[in-house]
Amino acid sequence: MMTIENIKTNTNFSSPLGVRGSLDVKGLTIDAKNVDFYYSEFHALKNINFEVNKNEVVALIGPSGCGKSTFLRLMNRMNDLIPGTRMTGSMLIEGQDIYAPNVHVDELRKEVGMVFQKPNPFPKSIFENVAYGLRVNGIKDKTFIEERVIESIKSAALWDEVKDKLNKSAFALSGGQQQRLCIARALAISPKVVLMDEPASALDPISTAKIEDLIHELKKDYTIIIVTHNMQQASRVSDKTAYFYLGELIEYDQTIKIFTNPEKLSTQNYITGRFG
């Protein structure tokens, strides 16, 4: 079986973050320093410092509007799409400042994949949905694409359900299947980090459980940041939890500590459901 590492060497993916092969994976995978973020005049994130090690699962929690999704979207520069936004501070991924002028945003997004709140498969076949990321990144080798697509669908625990209908429309899948397809799609281009923005909030409990199991599996190969409104989910899937409130990172620690013995009162109030 192909491993993620040798897939990388098989493809032409140059590192987005600098010269290929120069990445030092010993350091932190994500290292945000003094991050401030503004939507026009609105100060949405205030002096965030945040570090993630390789292969960790980190949950971002907090009430609606606290800035957790905004922070997530800073890691693959999705906020660039919103006019009038501004960031200060630095966001390093594997030691490289992803907001440096020489970073191409499409190259960055190959390394930092994303799964959205609402399943958003393209109006294409199941196969083509997963192959999309490879194709737009210039990969033409048919055998490689096929192997990669199959492997990604298997990694997303979807293979048994779709193996006989790879050429059928992705729209024919259920919501939960569509979301796993979107995860497969993100995995196909072998990202280092996978960002998940409330990936299970639109799904039923069984599909949610499947996504959570999947996150446990994916942890072996990927660093995962997940935004969630579901406390149980955060405690089940993550190693560390970050609690955001009103644009500030109030507390960031081992998940077990946050949920059993938080240091801040605000955190305690939130996780016990006293507000939010």
Partner 1 sequence: MTPVIQAKNTDRKKRNSQAIAFTIFKLMSYSVVAILFIILGFIVIRGIGVISWDFLTKAPEEGMTKGGIFPAIVGTLCLVAGSSIFSFPIGIMSGIYMNEYATESKVATFIRIMTNNLSGVPSVVFGLFGMALFVNTMKFGDSILAGSLTLGLLSLPLVIRTTEESLKAIDKSYREGSLALGATKLQTIQKVVLPMAFPNIITGLILSIGRVSGETAPILFTVAAYFLPKLPTSIFNQVMALPYHLYVISTSGTDIEASRGIAYGTALVLIVIVLLVNLLANGLRNYFSKKVKTN
Interacting residues with partner 1 (CB under 8 A): 76, 78, 81, 83, 106-110, 113-114, 116, 118, 120-125, 128, 132-133, 135-137, 167-169, 171, 182, 185-186, 189
Neighbours of 129 (CB within 10 A): 25
Work out how close the CB of 84 gets to partner 1 at its nearest, in angstroms, rounded to a whole number: 9
Q: How big is the CA angle at 236 (ends 235 and 238), to the nearest 5 degrees? A: 70
Query: Is the CB of 33 or the CB of 165 nearer to partner 1?
Result: 165
Nearer to partner 1, 156 or 258 (CB): 156
User: What is the nearest approach in angstroms of partner 1 to the Cβ of residue 270?
Assistant: 28
Distance CA 68, CA 276 (A): 13
Indicate the residue among 91 and 231 with the shorter CB distance to partner 1: 91
Closest C-alpha to 52, from 228, 222, 262 = 222
Q: Where are the alpha helices (DSSP H) in 112-239?
A: 126-136, 142-155, 159-162, 175-188, 205-218, 231-237
Give Cα separations from 25 to 9, 21, 194, 206, 216 (angstroms).
15, 10, 16, 35, 21
Rounded CA-CA distance 168/162 in Å is: 9
Place of tokens 């501070």: 89
What radius of gyration do the chain's Cα atoms show?
18
Which CB, 121 or 262, lies closer to partner 1?
Answer: 121
Question: Is 104 or 264 the residue whose CB approaches partner 1 more closely?
Answer: 104
CB of 39 to partner 1, least distance (A): 14
Nearer to partner 1, 185 or 240 (CB): 185
Give the nearest distance from C-beta 137 to partner 1 in angstroms: 5
The distance of closest approach from Cβ of residue 266 to partner 1 in the complex, given in angstroms and rounded to an integer, is: 31
* Shortest separation between residue 255's beta carbon and partner 1, angstroms: 26
| Distance in Å, CB of 31 to partner 1, minimum | 21
Cβ count within 10 A of residue 95: 16
> In angstroms, rounded to a whole number, what is the distance separating the alpha carbons of residues 153 and 158?
6
Bridge pairing between strands 57-61 and 85-93: unpaired
Report how far residue 157's alpha carbon sits from residue 220's, in angstroms, rounded to the nearest whole number: 15
Q: Shortest distance, CB of residue 144 to partner 1, whole angstroms?
A: 16
Q: Which is nearer to partner 1, 38 or 132 (CB)?
A: 132
In the block, residue with structure tokens 């399943």: 119
Residue number with CB closer to partner 1 (111 or 251): 111
